Structure 1
């Protein structure tokens, strides 16, 4: 009987350790978009990649219809349900092979890049901090095309 008790104890210990390790995964603070409860955001959120740019793991966030990739304080963040932007000369089409998405691309004074889908409602916003662009190209927004494509396009860049 003694040999059987050891594996049971090991299993019990393992059952305690796994949830503790999961609790150590960072949760990234985010602000939900105005229309985060829009049902059209659900298919987008469910189709997002688990890794972005090859080495940025997806992280939990604390707000509805948001996600992040990377580390707290240095993460790419995505929000679904932002107000759709109007036409802009900063509109660019990104074709990823899995679909094309039109984005309004804006560079902030602080070095943050903002990508907002154009011609889709609700719109999706992606913020890329300078800490990410130091080591990565922003071309990874193309990896979001399949998920963002779950919101049908009603307009295109002109």
Structure 2
């Protein structure tokens, strides 16, 4: 895995604040693609599922369909977590943006719709968190809330 540069969090939070308007919907009856992790990642993802908080950044948990131990959601429009996703090809780019939040490193990808997708790095399973455009006003707060359960459930290492 390439090590990519980390942007100072002080610069990222204003960028997320700028994109705080618009509409997007993922929860409230929405569906997401359920990952199909290998056996090792699946065990870690099941552990993560039981460790996830009932609230994230003040939002109640409202998991998307189809219900799975590999997905979770909070609020509407929902912040969506998917565990056991495939390694993003952007992790091969030495110029890719990354952030570290409370001991968990993330690949940062701004999406065309104004949302942000974060994928864990250097963990035995890849965890993807998508923060919709309407939820970016709180910056990295959702990742702060997820750091402890991810560190507890997903060991450091390289996912395959």
| TM > 0.5 fold call | yes
CA distance in 2, matches of 1:36, 1:50: 26
Partners of 2:116 and 2:35 lie apart in 1 by 17
Count how many residue pairs are aligned between Structure 1 and Structure 2.
Answer: 123
**Which residue of structure 2 aligns with residue 90 of structure 1?**
97
Matches within 5 A, 1:5-154: 26-35=28-37, 38-54=42-58, 56-63=59-66, 64=68, 65-71=70-76, 74-85=77-88, 86=91, 88=93, 89-95=96-102, 100-133=103-136, 135-149=137-151, 150-154=153-157
**Which runs of 5 or more structure 2 residues have no equivalent in the other structure?**
1-27
Q: Against the structure 1 CA distance between its residues 36 and 60, is the aligned structure 2 distance closer, same or farther, given a 3 Å change threshold?
A: farther
The alignment's TM-score, normalised by the length of structure 2, stands at 0.68
Distance 1:147 1:27, change over 3 A: farther
Calculate the TM-score normalised by the size of structure 1: 0.69
Structure having the larger proportion of residues in strand: 1
* Displacement of 1:44: 0.5
**Deviation, structure 1 residue 140:** 2.1
Q: Deviations over 1:86-131 (max 9, x none)?
A: 3553122111xxxx10000111121010010001122100001111
Of 61-70 and 35-44, the range deviating more from structure 2: 35-44
